[in-house]
């Protein structure tokens, strides 16, 4: 299929403030009365981009890309996320796990590892590969780290996805719509505590609330929900939501398929791990599964 160019800016040289990403589109916001810009959720980097509400041709192109699951090249201004043009490419290949990876009641059958002290969790954190690529995807970094913890230390980690709602994104002009990191259960102060290991944004393990506070301007509480639709259908009720999964879940698409298709991931998809490492880590050739 031939690519289609939408937007005159793709025919001109890029300014110093321009950036490009190749991605699929997760959502194109509705145009509300008085809106000057419309939110666009890109899969790549979990980025939130903005389109002029009057640019109907560009909005229609992005809606087509979402409906047909097309890969697109998006040209945008890095400093404010404003989309200048989009190039429609080929249909994206679905991220479907291979092998015997599906069964019901995933979390009921999954037991996360318990780490006996904060010092031990810090040691696990220190062994996480920090040689990540610039602008790598958070979900690919998290997937590589979770797999390494499992293969190197036999640690069954969980993952926590923080989803930022349109209410928060619009109010703060926030550039992400989700982020994800692994977490483990750590013995702290006589209790088993959820401890997030986010090598990109922290210097060590953090309690769950301390981790979410890194991303919320007023340290708002992020309710825990279990279904992707609980987040998607309640964009104006909260500023953020958390969804917790086992280590096998790689992206928001996996969470959505869990709900809509009954795909409960219960094993590593080694091809997916390899793809995640290739995108996220500089030395991926040295230790792919």
| 21: pLDDT strictly greater than 70 | yes
Phi, psi values for residue 97, rounded to 5° = -65, 150
Distance CA 42, CA 30 (A): 15
**Of 194, 112, 108, whose CA–CA distance to 149 is shortest?**
112
Closest CA to 187 of 110, 107, 112, 119: 119
Summarised one tens digit per residue, pLDDT across range 202-242 is: 999 999 999 999 999 999 999 999 999 999 999 999 999 99
Mean pLDDT of 76-90: 91
pLDDT digits (tens, 9 = 90+) for 140-193: 999 999 999 999 999 999 999 999 999 999 999 999 999 999 999 999 989 999
| Residue ranges of domains in the chain, CATH in brackets | 4-91 (2.40.50.340), 106-287 (3.10.620)
Report, as an integer, the average pLDDT of 61-68: 92
In degrees, rounded to 5, the angle at the alpha carbon of residue 288 between the alpha carbons of residues 284 and 289 is: 165
Instruction: Give the C-alpha separation, 197 to 203, whole Å.
Output: 9
């Amino acid at each position: 299929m031939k690519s289609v160019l939408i937007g005159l800016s793709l025919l001109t040289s890029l300014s110093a403030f321009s950036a490009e990403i190749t991605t699929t589109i997760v959502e194109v916001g509705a145009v509300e009365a008085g809106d000057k810009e419309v939110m666009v959720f890109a899969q790549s980097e979990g980025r939130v981009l903005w389109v002029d509400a009057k640019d109907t041709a560009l909005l229609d192109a992005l809606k087509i890309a979402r409906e047909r699951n097309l890969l697109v090249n998006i040209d945008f201004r890095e400093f404010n996320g404003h989309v200048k043009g989009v190039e429609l490419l080929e249909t994206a290949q679905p991220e479907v796990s291979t092998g015997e990876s599906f069964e019901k009641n995933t979390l009921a059958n999954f037991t996360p590892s318990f780490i006996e002290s904060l010092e031990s969790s810090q040691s696990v954190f220190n062994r996480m590969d920090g040689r990540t690529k610039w602008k790598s995807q958070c979900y690919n970094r998290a997937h590589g780290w979770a797999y390494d913890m499992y293969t190197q230390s036999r640690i069954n980690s969980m993952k926590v996805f923080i989803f930022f709602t349109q209410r928060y994104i619009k109010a703060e002009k926030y550039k992400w719509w989700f982020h994800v990191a692994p977490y483990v259960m750590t013995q702290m102060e006589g209790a088993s505590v959820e401890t997030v290991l986010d090598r990109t944004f922290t210097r060590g393990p953090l309690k769950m609330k301390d981790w979410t506070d890194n991303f919320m301007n007023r340290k708002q509480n992020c309710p825990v929900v279990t279904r992707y639709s609980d987040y998607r259908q309640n964009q104006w009720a909260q500023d953020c939501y958390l969804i917790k999964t086992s280590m096998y879940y790689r992206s928001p698409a996996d969470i959505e398929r869990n709900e809509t298709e009954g795909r409960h991931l219960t094993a590593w998809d080694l091809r997916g791990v390899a793809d995640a490492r290739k995108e996220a880590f500089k030395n991926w050739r040295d230790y792919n599964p």
